[in-house]
């Protein structure tokens, strides 16, 4: 009750006086720690926390020759847009943070970044990959995820290579299902554009959307089943991947190539579905720890391994890199001043743990980073080697799916 | 081939729908109360099954009787301490509707606090297996769920038509006043019926949880589908409920031939409104436990 | 009565001057409260006056919001006209499903509205050309517009409050109360339930739609699952019922408490507020059918004694 009164009092309180010079930098963030995206929200949290711990171990941020402690205010947006928006508003206008780190998943980032833009506060995210978010040309929004269209393209690149080796039929019939979000639409664009460019090689026989966090995909899978496709390409978030693939398996489906977009190699999926059922699933991701053989990337993989006793996945890497990019920009600007940090981020260019080793936020792309995806494929032994692009591949990959022959 | 596969899918789905709906129809038929907490009971059954499975390693098939008993007791208590004090029938409808809706909200949030809002699923050894029969694949879990639902409905039919308790329930449904005169404890029958409806919902939730993933809002769609079935199938008749469930499942499954699969979920809701509008008056069927 | 009018006018002036002294955070909360208070009042015309409990009002909130957003994105009309257009479409949509279903009484109508609400939500999330799918729509942000929107929301609230009072005292209000009491008796004295219920649903739907439009402008981002979700519909019911069904001040109280409680809990227990409201709802039905208003009256009477 007293707290409620406090809220009431706050509600009617007048504007606070201007703040004195910073003795402490606070960075706000929300993540989906519960709700549909809870698992991945937890991964991002690990990445953020590692970055903040490392920075604090150095004594904080070096701003204009002075070490200033930096703290993270992290809250749970419950995987819903309304909460993400309300919390961002609270963080900016009530907790008075100096900058925001993004939440995870495109539809939450899209909603939340509007609040940051409106309040003119830097918003750096590694969780929103849909290009639609950046087409709004916001000035305070920076994204580390390469566009999802490139993801669809990367998958098709490997498939095309397999087809040219006559491992897949020509034309190959594609069943394309995508979540009904900007993320899914970008994925679909990437795949259909590729198919259109390679006339006669691919035929998209199912092209359907599904609701984010649906609980039952039977209707969709019945349609996929009826289409008799060779290739099953889906774009789904982790919980949807697990639910859908479980129903996929029990419906007796099997395709020569199976992919759930960026999902597939997660340990949780193998545990939930059984190793046998996730074999040969193809996925294209923003980062893979097998890239970590030297330099920054290796340092990150080692530090993560030491802190959490397991290897990082792309989720933690992107979160870590997102926080690091903000720190670097603040140190380069020599201040936590929102406008100066924004300018530094806009002209940012630096070494990175991301696949091409460099990070920048090109203004032509609405300040969304661009780099190539890595395609990986689950193997029966539980590993997921990189199969594409050829320059970084450490295995050829398997097509068509050997399990289908046994099933039929 | 395709037709047969869709048909099989629809029939298997219908079993679960019938079970979800029957509890709702039974409570309405006897007490004249629309139990909006039905969705909450379905959800509670799912989470109870999850807790027993994950913490104690109990297979859902084993925990089923336990969940039936727990849900029955919950329904009984809910009736004794809350629902009993409410007005019935057309004029008091809004009050009981809102109250049971409040119960549902509280249940949802209690579960949210205990289990968080994360998506859950009960995964058993049989949850990713399928049998092949003449080229048609039969998911094991769906077949089991269908079989159990049929068994439960059969048992219920027997209870209502062949036992003293069942006859008492039917008599109360038809005319509570004369029952009092005939020496039947009407309140006891009401509490029993409320428990029975809740037990059915809890078990349906448990069975559903082995097929779908779920979170605390699980049960709202199921509640609506139950309404569709009850409205179409009439009250208390096992055959009526089963055939209405089959119609709903068929319409939903075959809708993919003409609709994007995304919208097949809306088909049930549209059907609900249509049936309600086209059959006013006799909405919940005149046949009461016939 | 005169005192009441004077007090209301004073409150209105005070609220209108307030934004000069508000932090942006409080500013947002206040605007949100205005819109929810207005919507709760509009819900109450149907749910309280006519006794038809709708679990599907989010359908109109969303329709109004998206139509207004589309008009604003196309730059076809200035914001207030876009909201009104959105409201009219929402009202018309309410009539389309409401005309046949309003013949149903009590729980049957409520159940039908759950179906309507969910079906509308599914269609809206699917229809990405219009609504942007699950990702929703972003509206361009106009610097300084929030201050204006605050006043516009307040003006809209004042309008709805006056309308609530006027409807209660008008022939329409009397007819609705008669219908709520006994449809057949009302028909005997020449009150057409169909006409009056259709009319009030249209008004209620249109007002809800306009609120949706202002909401879209204020937050410059809308998304179908948030605008049309079942939780949204529930919140309208809860605000009105907990505040006091059928009264004017009740929904106002209910909505203000709702917004504050939700905001207070969102940081620590993001979803607990619905459960608390469920518990309140049970208490209200069992002990105080007139909600917070009834409780207030009781306290006043006790104090007077």
Q: Do C270 and A10 touch (CB under 8 A)?
A: no
- The 3-state DSSP class for residue C52 equals coil
Between positions 213 and 242 of B, the ones with CB within 8 A of C are 216-217, 220-221, 224, 227
Q: In Å, how far is B131's CA from the nearest CA of chain A?
A: 9
Residue A5 lies inside a defined structural domain of this protein: no
**Is the distance from CB of A224 to CB of A175 less than 8 angstroms?**
yes
> What per-residue confidence (pLDDT) applies to C295?
86
A-chain residue closest to C32, CA distance: A86
CB contact under 8 A, C22 and A15: yes
**B11, B116, B119, best to mutate vs chain A, most A CBs in 10 Å:** B119
Dist CA A41 CA A29 (whole Å): 11
Average confidence (pLDDT) over A62-84:
90
What pLDDT band is residue A151 in, cutting at 50, 70 and 90? very high
In sequence order, the 6+-apart residues with CB closer than 8 A to the CB of A241 are A234, A260, A263, A264, A269
At C234-246, the pLDDT tens digits run 899 999 998 988 8
* Domain count along chain A: 2
Which subunits sit against B, judged by 3+ Cβ pairs under 8 A?
A, C
Classify residue A100: in a domain, yes or no.
Answer: yes
User: Does residue C261 belong to the interface with chain B, where contact is any CB pair within 8 Å?
Assistant: no
Cβ of C122 within 8 Å of Cβ of B265? The answer is: yes
Which range marks the domain in which residue B193 is found? 2-122+137-278
Other CB atoms within 10 Å distance of the CB of residue C7: 10
Whole-model pTM?
A: 0.86
Kindly state the average pLDDT of the residues B258-274: 85
Nearest-10 Cα torsion for B2, B3, B7, B9: 20
The band of A12, judged by pLDDT with boundaries at 50, 70 and 90, is very low
Which residues does chain C have within 8 Å of residue B270's beta carbon, measured at their own beta carbons? 115, 119
In this complex, which of A219, A250, A277 lies closest to B253 when CB atoms are compared? A219
Q: Report yes or no on A200 lying in a domain.
A: yes
Distance CA A203, CA A53 (A): 50
Report d(CA C273, CA C270) in Å as an integer: 7
Verify whether the Cβ–Cβ distance A215 to B212 is below 8 Å: yes
CATH at residue A333: 3.40.50.2300
Q: Are A134 and A365 in contact (CB under 8 A)?
A: yes
Most A CBs within 10 A among B117, B131, B145, hence the mutation to make, goes to: B117
Residues of C in contact with A9 (CB under 8 A): none
Best probe of the B interface among C225, C275, C288, C291, by most B CBs < 10 A, is C275
Residues of C in contact with B224 (CB under 8 A): 114-115, 118
Instruction: State phi, psi for A385 to the nearest 5 degrees.
Output: -70, 160
pLDDT in tens, C148-184: 999 999 999 999 999 999 999 999 999 999 988 888 8
pLDDT of residue B19: 92
Q: Do A162 and A264 belong to one domain?
A: yes
Q: Which two tokens stand for residue A87?
A: 């919390």
Same structural domain, A38 and A90? yes
Span C174-229, pLDDT tens digits: 999 998 888 888 888 888 889 999 999 999 999 999 999 999 999 888 889 889 98
Please report the pLDDT score of residue A245 as a whole number: 93
Does residue B149 contact residue B16 with C-beta atoms inside 8 Å? Answer: yes
Q: Which of B86, B268, B277 sits opposite C100 (nearest CB)?
A: B277
pLDDT above 50: residue A18 = no
Question: What's the CA gap between A104 and A38, in Å, rounded?
Answer: 10
Say how many domains are in chain B: 1
A154 near A375, Cβ under 8 Å? yes
pLDDT tens for C5-61 read 888 888 888 888 877 777 777 888 899 999 999 999 999 999 999 989 999 999 999
Q: Domain holding B43: CATH number?
A: 1.10.3470
- What is the pLDDT confidence band of residue C298, given thresholds at 50, 70 and 90? confident
Does A253 lie in the same domain as A182?
Answer: yes
Residue where the block lists tokens 């057309």: B90
**Domain with C295 in it:** 2-304
Identify the residue among A83, A218, A408 best suited for mutation to test binding to B, counting B beta carbons within 10 A and taking the highest.
Answer: A218
Report the mean per-residue pLDDT for chain A.
Answer: 89
Do A301 and A160 lie in one domain? The reply is no
How far B43 CA sits from the closest chain A CA (Å)? Answer: 13
- Interchain CB distance below 8 Å, A15 and C23: yes
pLDDT at residue B88, as a whole number: 66
Q: Domain of C207: which CATH number?
A: 1.10.3470
Q: Is residue A8 part of a domain?
A: no
Percent of chain C with pLDDT over 70: 98
Instruction: Verify whether the Cβ–Cβ distance B283 to C114 is below 8 Å.
Output: no
Q: Are residues A279 and A300 in the same domain?
A: no
Q: What is the pLDDT of residues C92-143, one digit of tens each?
A: 999 999 998 888 877 888 888 988 999 999 999 999 889 988 888 888 777 7
Does any CB of chain B come closer than 8 Å to the CB of residue C116?
Answer: yes
Q: For residue A75, what is the nearest residue in chain C, using CA coordinates?
A: C267
- A175: tokens are 């069943």
Q: Residue A16: inside a domain, yes or no?
A: no
Q: Is C144 on the interface with A (CB under 8 A)?
A: no
A389 and A353, same domain (yes or no): no
Query: Are residues A222 and A137 located together in one domain of the fold?
Result: no
For B161-178, what is each residue's pLDDT tens digit?
A: 899 999 999 888 888 888
Determine, for residues B272 and C53 on separate chains, whether the beta-carbon distance falls below 8 Å: no
Assigned domain for A10 exists? no
Domain interval for residue A354: 22-146+292-365
**Interface check C261 vs A, CB under 8 A:** yes
pLDDT digits (tens, 9 = 90+) for A305-314: 999 999 999 9
Distance CA C211, CA C217 (A): 10
Same domain, A267 and A349: no
d(CA A90, nearest CA chain C) in Å: 7
Is B131 contained in some domain? no
The mean pLDDT value of chain B amounts to 86
* A180 with C221: Cβ contact below 8 A: no
C269 touches chain A (CB under 8 A): no
Of the candidates B130, B211, B265, the beta carbon closest to that of A252 is on: B130
Q: Which of C115, C126, C237 sits opposite B269 (nearest CB)?
A: C115
C270·A179 Cβ contact <8 A: no
> Is residue A1 assigned to a domain?
no
Q: Does C122 touch chain B (CB under 8 A)?
A: yes
pLDDT at B289 over 70: no
- Are residues A298 and A267 part of one domain? no
Rg from Cα positions in chain B:
19
In angstroms, the CA C155 to CA C171 distance is 25
Asked if A116 and A139 touch (Cβ cutoff 8 Å), the reply is: no
What are the chain B neighbours of C269 within 8 Å (beta carbons)?
Answer: 113
Q: Are residues A156 and A141 in the same domain?
A: no
Q: How far apart are the C-alpha atoms of B75 and A87, rounded to whole Å? A: 38
Nearest to C123 among B85, B263, B273 (CB): B263
Burial class from Cβ neighbours inside 10 Å (0-12, 13-18, 19+) for residue C15 reads middle
**Beta carbons of C275 and B93 less than 8 Å apart:** no
């Amino acid at each position: 009750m007293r707290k409620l009164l406090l809220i009431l009092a706050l509600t009617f309180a007048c504007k606070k006086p201007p703040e004195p010079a910073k003795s402490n930098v606070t960075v706000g963030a929300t993540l989906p720690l519960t709700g549909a995206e809870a698992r991945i929200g937890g991964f991002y949290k690990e990445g953020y926390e590692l970055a903040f711990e490392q920075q604090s171990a150095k004594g904080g941020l070096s701003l204009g020759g002075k070490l200033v402690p930096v703290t993270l205010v992290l809250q749970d947006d419950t995987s819903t847009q309304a909460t993400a928006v309300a919390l961002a508003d609270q963080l900016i206008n009530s907790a008075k943070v100096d900058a925001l780190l993004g939440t995870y998943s495109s539809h939450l980032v899209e909603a939340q970044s509007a609040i940051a833009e409106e309040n003119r506060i830097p918003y750096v995210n590694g969780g929103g990959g849909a290009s639609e978010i950046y087409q709004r040309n916001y000035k305070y929004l920076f994204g580390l995820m390469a566009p999802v269209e490139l993801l669809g393209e990367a998958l098709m690149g490997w498939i095309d290579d397999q087809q040219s080796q006559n491992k897949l039929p020509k034309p190959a019939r594609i069943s394309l299902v995508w979540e009904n979000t900007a993320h899914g639409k970008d994925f679909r664009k990437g795949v259909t554009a590729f198919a259109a460019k390679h006339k006669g090689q691919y035929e998209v026989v199912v092209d359907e959307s599904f609701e984010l966090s649906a609980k039952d995909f039977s209707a969709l899978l019945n349609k996929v089943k009826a289409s008799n496709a060779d290739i099953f390409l889906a774009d789904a978030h982790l919980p949807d991947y697990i639910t859908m693939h479980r129903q996929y398996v029990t419906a007796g489906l099997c395709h020569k190539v199976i992919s759930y977009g960026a999902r597939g190699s997660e340990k949780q999926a193998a545990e939930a579905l059984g190793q046998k059922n996730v074999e040969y699933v193809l996925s294209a991701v923003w980062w893979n720890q097998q890239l970590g053989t030297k330099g920054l990337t290796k340092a990150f993989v080692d530090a993560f391994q030491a802190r959490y006793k397991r290897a990082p996945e792309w989720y933690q890497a992107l979160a870590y890199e997102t926080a690091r990019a903000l720190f670097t920009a603040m140190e380069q600007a020599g201040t936590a001043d929102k406008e100066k940090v924004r300018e530094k981020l806009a002209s940012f260019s630096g070494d990175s743990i991301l696949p091409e080793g460099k990070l920048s936020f090109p203004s032509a792309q609405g300040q969304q980073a661009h780099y190539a995806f890595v395609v990986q494929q689950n193997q029966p032994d539980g590993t997921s080697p990189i199969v594409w692009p050829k320059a970084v591949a450490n295995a050829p990959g398997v097509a068509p799916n050997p399990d289908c022959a046994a099933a039929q | 081939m395709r037709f047969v596969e869709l048909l099989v899918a629809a029939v298997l789905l219908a079993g679960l729908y019938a079970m979800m709906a029957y509890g709702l129809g039974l409570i309405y038929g006897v007490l004249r109360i629309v139990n909006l907490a039905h969705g909450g009971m379905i959800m509670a059954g799912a989470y109870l099954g999850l807790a027993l499975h994950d913490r104690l390693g109990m297979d859902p098939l084993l925990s089923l009787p336990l969940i039936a008993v727990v849900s029955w007791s919950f329904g009984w208590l809910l009736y004794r301490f809350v629902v009993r004090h409410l007005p019935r029938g057309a004029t008091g409808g809004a009050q009981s509707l809102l109250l049971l809706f409040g119960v549902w909200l509280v249940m949802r949030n209690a579960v949210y606090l205990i289990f968080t809002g994360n998506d859950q699923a009960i995964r058993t050894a049989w949850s990713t297996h399928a049998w092949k029969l003449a080229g048609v694949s039969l998911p094991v879990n769906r077949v089991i769920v269908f079989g159990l639902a049929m068994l439960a409905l059969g048992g219920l039919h027997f209870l209502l038509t062949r036992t003293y308790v069942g006859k008492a329930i039917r008599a109360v449904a038809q005319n509570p006043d004369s029952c009092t005169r005939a020496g039947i404890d009407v309140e006891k029958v009401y509490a029993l019926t409320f428990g029975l409806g809740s037990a059915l919902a809890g078990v349906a939730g448990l069975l559903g949880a082995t097929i779908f993933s779920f979170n605390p809002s699980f049960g709202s769609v199921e509640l609506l589908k139950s309404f569709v079935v009850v409205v179409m199938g009439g009250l208390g008749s096992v055959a009526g409920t089963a055939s209405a469930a089959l119609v709903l499942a068929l319409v939903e499954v075959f809708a993919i031939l003409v609709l994007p699969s995304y919208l097949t979920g809306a088909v049930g809701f549209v059907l609900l409104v249509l049936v309600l509008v086209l059959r006013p008056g006799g909405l919940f069927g005149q046949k009461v436990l016939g | 009565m005169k005192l009441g009018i004077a007090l209301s006018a004073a409150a209105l002036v005070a609220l209108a001057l307030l934004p000069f002294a508000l932090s942006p955070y409080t500013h947002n909360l206040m605007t949100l409260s205005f819109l929810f208070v207005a919507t709760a009042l509009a819900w109450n015309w149907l749910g309280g006056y006519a006794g038809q409990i709708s679990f599907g009002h989010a359908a109109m909130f969303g329709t109004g919001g998206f139509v207004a957003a589309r008009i604003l994105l196309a730059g076809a009309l200035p914001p207030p006209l876009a909201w009104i257009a959105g409201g009219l479409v929402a009202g018309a949509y309410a009539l389309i499903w409401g005309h046949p279903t309003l013949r149903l009484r009590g729980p049957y109508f409520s159940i039908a509205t759950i179906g309507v609400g969910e079906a509308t939500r599914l269609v809206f999330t699917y229809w990405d050309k219009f609504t942007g799918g699950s990702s929703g729509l972003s509206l361009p942000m106009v610097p300084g517009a929030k201050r204006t929107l605050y006043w516009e929301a307040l003006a809209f609230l004042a309008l709805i409050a006056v309308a609530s009072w006027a409807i209660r005292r008008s022939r329409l209000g009397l007819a609705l109360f008669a219908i709520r009491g006994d449809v057949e008796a009302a028909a005997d004295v020449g009150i057409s339930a169909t006409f009056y219920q259709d009319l009030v649903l249209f008004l209620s739907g249109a007002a809800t739609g306009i609120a949706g439009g202002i909401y879209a402008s204020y937050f410059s981002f809308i998304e179908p699952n948030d605008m049309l979700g079942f939780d949204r519909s529930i919140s309208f019911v809860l605000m009105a019922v907990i505040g006091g069904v059928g009264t004017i001040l009740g929904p106002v109280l209910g909505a203000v408490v709702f917004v504050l409680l939700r905001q207070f809990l969102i940081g620590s227990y993001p979803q607990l507020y619905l459960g608390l409201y469920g518990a309140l709802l049970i208490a209200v039905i069992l002990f105080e059918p007139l909600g917070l208003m009834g409780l207030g009256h009781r306290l006043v009477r006790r104090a007077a004694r």
